[in-house]
Amino acid sequence: MRFAPNIKTDAAELETIISKGEGVQLDFKQTISNQRKIGRTIAAFANNKGGTLLIGVKDNGLVLGCDCEEEMYMIHEAAEHFCEPPVDVYFTIYELDEELAVLAVEIKNSLRKPHFALDDNDDWQLYMRNNDKTMVASKSTKKMIELEDDEEELDMNNLDSKEKFVLDYLNKKELIMAKELSNRLNISLQRANKILIKLMKLGAILQHKDARGEYYTIR
């Protein structure tokens, strides 16, 4: 094969991965038909803590299989030409039987971040993962990624109870806004914003902005 993938026949291992469901670091695709769109997900994984694409699996976890050689070509082209800078991808093929195979694409936490991908208007945008969705990141998130130290890990022991509340909340809920945090903790809006900004700088959460306003998600 052109891309020299790792070959596995461990169906139980694949089932374990699928059982986790789609999320920040896992995405299912039945097939790749749009290199531009999949480039955004590849870039988003590289900008965060890495992730895995499973090709040949429906959103509900049903295994359909795929043409792995064709899918590897599509992924490789997307990572090379629709991500800037290009993203390294690593292939594993799960051969379930003679006619059924699933392609796993690993994207590591990149040392070359931030990575950008093309939007529908041919503009380079920064993408991040929000639960199981790939979304355009805010300017502040871009700055945070550019400045972050890859060697530095978030030290949970240095967080106070209000900061831990935010992380616990976001592990259960999709997002939180500063006003909502202010109300839940009965603190000032200024204090709520300071907590969220601190956690963002530590790399624990991400900031986004859309029609709803500014909001934060777990990283």
- pLDDT tens digit at each of 219 positions of the chain: 578 899 999 999 999 999 999 999 999 999 999 999 999 999 999 998 899 999 999 999 999 999 999 999 999 999 999 998 899 999 999 999 988 999 999 999 887 888 999 998 888 899 998 888 998 987 667 666 665 544 444 465 678 899 999 999 999 988 999 999 999 999 988 888 888 878 887 778 888 877 778 888 988
Check residue 59 and give its pLDDT.
94
For residues 37 and 140, what is the distance between their CA atoms, to the nearest angstrom?
23
User: Sign of torsion, CA 32 217 80 88?
Assistant: negative
Q: Angle CA(125)–CA(31)–CA(29) in degrees, nearest 5?
A: 65
**Between 178-185 and 161-170, two packed helices, what is the crossing angle to 10 degrees?**
120
Check residue 33 and give its pLDDT.
95
CATH no., domain 138-218: 1.10.10.10
Is the distance from CB of 197 to CB of 143 less than 8 angstroms? no
- Sorted by sequence, the CB contacts under 8 Å of residue 19 that are 6+ apart come out as 61
How many helices (H) does the chain have, and how many strands (E)? 7, 11
For residues 21 and 48, what is the distance between their CA atoms, to the nearest angstrom?
18
Superfamily of domain 6-130: Schlafen, AAA domain (3.30.950.30)
Domain boundaries, the chain: 6-130, 138-218
3-class secondary-structure state, position 25: coil
3-class secondary-structure state, position 45: helix
Check residue 159 and give its pLDDT.
86
Label residues 89-120 b or e (16+ Cβ within 10 Å = b). bebbbbbbeeeebbbbbebeebeebbbbbbee
Is the distance from CB of 91 to CB of 3 less than 8 angstroms? yes
Residue type, 166: V
